[in-house]
Structure formats: C-alpha cells, structure tokens
A and B are shown apart, each in its own frame.
Chain A
Amino acid sequence: MSAIAAAWKRLPWWVEPMTVVFVLTAFGLYSFAVIVLYQGQYEQYISPFFSFTATMELPGWVPGFITAPMLLLWIPLGFRATCYYYRKAYYRAFFWDPPACQSKAQQREPRSPENYNGERALFVLNNVHRYFFYASIFVVAFLWYEAFYTVFTPDGFQIAVGSLFWFVNIILVSAYTFSCHSFRHLIGGNMDCYSCNRGGNIRRKIYSGVSRLNENGGHARWAWLSLFSLLLTDIYLRFIAAGVIQDYVLIPFGG
C-alpha cells in the first residue's frame, strides 16, 4: 500500500489533478445520463441515485426535462460540492488554484493576484455546507431503508449478491457523511470544554469517533470510495435489469 503511495508521489505533479478531472467528469456524465434516461427500480433494488424518487410520479405541469430524481439529487450533489474535501479536489484539479504544491506546479496557477479571492467571493457560499449535511441525514436514512429492502423484500427474506452492493454502498456513504468536517464541528469541535458542560462527555466521545473516521485522509478516502460504490451499485442495477448478468442469490427465500 505504502509502495503504491510512494510510486504515486513520484509521478509528475499534473497526474493527480488530471485524474481527478477525469473521474469527476465521467461520474457527472454517467449520473446525468442515468437520471434523465433511465428508471430507478428493478425488482427489489432501488438505484441509490433515485432513492425514494424511484417510484415518484411528477405532476403534469412539471416540464419534461425535469425528472423525479432531480428533486432528490441536489442534496448529495450540494453536499459533495460544498464538502471540504471535494472543494480541495476541484480547486486543485479544475481551477488549478494551485494544481499541486511543488514550486513548479504553483507557478502554473492561472489566476493573477488581483483575481484570486479564495473563498471570499463566490465560493463563500460553500459555508452553507452544514445545511447540506442536515439534509443528507435523510438521504442516508432512506438508503439504509432501501438496503434493508433488498433483503426483506415483499416476497420474504433473501440475500443476493446485489444486497451486498447495497450494503457496502450505504456503509461507505454513511462513513463519508458522518466523517464530515461540519458534523465534527457541530458535535464537539465547537466546544472548548467538555467537562464543564452537561452532556459534554458524550459529545466528546462522539467527537473523538468522528475525528477517527475523519483523520489521516479518512474523509477523502470515504469520499472516493462512496463515489465508486454509488457508481458500481447503479451499474449493477443496470446490468441485471438489462439481463447482462444474473443476480446470484446467496441465501434464498425463507432459507
């Protein structure tokens, strides 16, 4: 693992930002295509891109280019767009502000000092991140519900390979959501003295847990892993729906 990390470090500085650009763009295009063109449900599986909107009927007056999942998708999208980790990633990769830290890379920064505002101008809006966090708690709750739905189906209990996808996904999404810096702040980072306040001890313990999840690049790791798990889970759904592969049942009904 550390050998890979070391090898990664030795690559030219532009490899990392370019990879980020590629992956995020690909993800964006894929999810856009999915929510505009496809359905969200197949048998007991509900695409994590759709969640509860999978079965939603939009009233007739809504223009056709708006599909149901869009009513939901602004939450995870906004959550990730304002996430401290993704902010770092896109400032570096898309805006080159700076693209990397070596002096050679920093010299490539396109913005002139007069035009650099950091998070003081437009991006000051990123400070609303905590509200997206609140909203995301609901999304996470639904995703848990839908993961359980894949095993406790209307027809009875079963475990198939698909369920594993759904559970791995929601675990990663939860790890990402609850390692959020804003959550870390709200649960305990904003307190100066735990022992001076009632309930402080509990909050300190949760804070420590969140910190452990968050630290040493943890949050960035969850950010990427949960992104890939979303993608793979949805692809899996498309594949079984299209009959490309069979959903292999591990423990059948009533078993």
Chain B
Amino acid sequence: MSESTNGTNGTNGREDQSLAYAPVAGTEGAKRGTTKLKIFRGDAEGGEFVEYETDMIEGMVVLDAVLNIQAEQAPDLAVRWNCKAAHCGSCSAEVNGRPTLMCKQRVNEYEGEIRVQPMQAFPVIKDLVSDVSWNYEVSRSMTPFTTSQQAPFTMYEEDVERLYEPKSCIECFMCQDVCHVLRTHHKHPEFAGPRFFVRGQWLEMHPMDEANRLEYLKDGGGGIGYCNITKCCTEVCPVGIKITDNSIIPLKERVADEYYDPAKWLMRKIRGRKGSRNGSSNGG
C-alpha cells in the first residue's frame, strides 16, 4: 500500500497530485526482536499466567505489547486503556507486583520476567480488568465543593498554587490498590483511601469552599486514622502527587486541630465558635 505514496498520479498538472496518497505509518524499521510477557488470564473464579511472545518495537510500553497480543493472538484479552499518554488513568495494572500505568512503563526497563496482572485491592473481573466501581461510591459520599460566593471568584495564584498538585490526580486508583489498609485489611467500608484524601485536601484548602469534611474524614467513612502514613501511595502515584506529605498529613493535622488538641478545644469553648477555620471565607 505504501508504494502508491511515491507513485505520482498526474490527472492534472496544477500541483503534485501524489500528495493525495498519504504515507501509511508503519512500524517497519523499529522492530527489535521479540519480547515475552506473562499475563494473567482468568476471572473472579481464578486463573493463571499465560506466556505470550510478541514483537519488540523500539520505545514500546507494556500497554503496546498487551494490545499487540490482543490484536494478534488473544482477541478476548480484557484490558482497559484510553489515552495512551498517562493522562486518563485507565490502564492501571500490576507489573511484577507493583502498581503501574501500562502506557507509561517501557518494556525495555525490565530485566528478566514481566508479569502483568490486574489490581488486587479490588475484585477481579477478567484478565487485567478489576472492578473499581467502589471508588465512585466513595466519591459520591464526599461533600462536593460548596460555596455561597458567586463566581467569577477573585482568587490569587499564591492562594491556590498548592491546589494544583492534588487537582492533577488522574484517578488511576493505583494508590488505592497499593494501600495496605484496603489491600490487606479490606477496610473499604470505613476508609476512603489516599485518592480521596487527595481530593479532600484541595476541597478543604480551597479559599472559597465552605463545607467542613473533618467529621467525614475522621469517622464518617473517611477513616483517615487508619492511614499509618507509610507512604506506599506516594511511591506509586504516576503524576507524582506527594500524597502522604501534602494531602494526608495536612488533613490529619486539621483533624487534630478539631478533635485532638485540648488547647484548640478550650479556645473554641471560650470564643464560642465551632468548626471555624483560619482564613476560610466562612471562618473570618
């Protein structure tokens, strides 16, 4: 097919008509032998690792390999993906026991075996796909942005710059997957997980937000006390959010202000103001 790219087609002499036959981009010239992957094949009932061999293409990521295998050898291999550019957070899986965005992880960075399996903190549906719907339930349970002010807001860069980091979360749920509170201890009903502490952080720190989520974070399903700040979530976040340092600990400190600090408690009693926070537009 690519031959016709060069073939001129002179129906009229006005312009080079061959431009109407565009090159079809192929992978020729980028093949670098083959590579092997062990991929989990199975469903909720169980399954096994199956080894596949596929072409190694220069610069290939794990997702490329999986999709090649799907197109050529295993049409029913279930996998999630969308953007292929680490923007959407769909392609989370565990590669060699570590949560990884498959579209971001180069194949040639592994020496030896590559084992791909679905995230383990959630029920497996099939192959590389697990059921992450629980996360959306948690999202629903959290008070959304609430304000009595009317946009357009006057907000300054220096007041909001620290919110850009939590806002960049792509909801890959890998932090949820790696968190031992969920993964090992299955505290799903009582614990929102690092992803939602990240969300809680920007909500609580937003200059215009007026809701108070501290009660939720402490007891109402947030369960932030279950987090023992062991930082596995921070280690896996593909967009580099310092989840523990910048989201969880600041929220733990705010919870401490409200529930564990006798001096602050006394002050609130004396001043007769409850729940007001420093500098919040409602706080005064």
Contacts and interface: CB of A to CB of B under 8 A. Distances in A.
Report A-B touching, CB under 8 Å: yes
A88 interface: yes
Nearest to A128: B260
B107 interface: no
B226 A119 contact: yes
Contacts of A101: 98, 178, 232, 235-236
Contact of A191 (B231, B245, B278): B278
A124 B225 contact: yes
A42 interface: no
Interface string B250-284: 10111111011100000000000000011111010
B257 A190 contact: yes
Interface stretch (B12-20, B67-75, B183-191): B183-191
Given A118-B227, A190-B254, A195 B185 contact: no
Interface string B189-223: 00000000000000011110100000000000001
Given A128-B260, A181-B249, A106 B227 contact: no
B278 A190 contact: yes
A106 B180 contact: yes
Given A192-B207, A196-B207, A120 B229 contact: no
Contacts of B207: 192-193, 196
Nearest to B282: A192
B281 A193 contact: yes
Q: Give the one of A91, A103, A214 with max B CB within 10 A.
A: A103
Interface in A218-240: 219
Contacts of B45: none
B159 interface: yes
Nearest to B191: A118
Contacts, number: 137
A192 B232 CA distance: 27
Contacts of A80: none
B227 A195 contact: no
B280 A97 contact: no
Given A101-B98, A113-B184, A192-B209, A119 B256 contact: no
Given A128-B260, A190-B277, A192-B206, A97 B229 contact: no
A192 B98 contact: no
A103 B242 contact: no
B176 interface: no
Interface in A1-38: none
Contact of B230 (A98, A186, A191, A216): A98
Interface residues of B, number: 52
A103 B40 CA distance: 15
A185 interface: yes
Nearest to A191: B279
Contact of B277 (A192, A194, A219): A192
A58 B126 CA distance: 70
A192 B278 contact: yes
Contact of B242 (A124, A185, A196, A215): A215
Contact of A103 (B120, B206, B252, B257): B120
Contacts of A193: 159, 207, 279-281
Contacts of B204: 192
B156 interface: yes
Contacts of B120: 103
B231 A116 contact: no
A197 to B, nearest CB: 5
A182 interface: yes
Given A84-B249, A106-B183, A119-B226, A130 B261 contact: yes
Given A106-B180, A192-B281, A204-B158, 13 more contacts: A87-B229, A91-B230, A101-B236, A103-B98, A106-B184, A107-B184, A117-B226, A118-B181, A185-B254, A190-B279, A192-B277, A196-B281, A215-B242
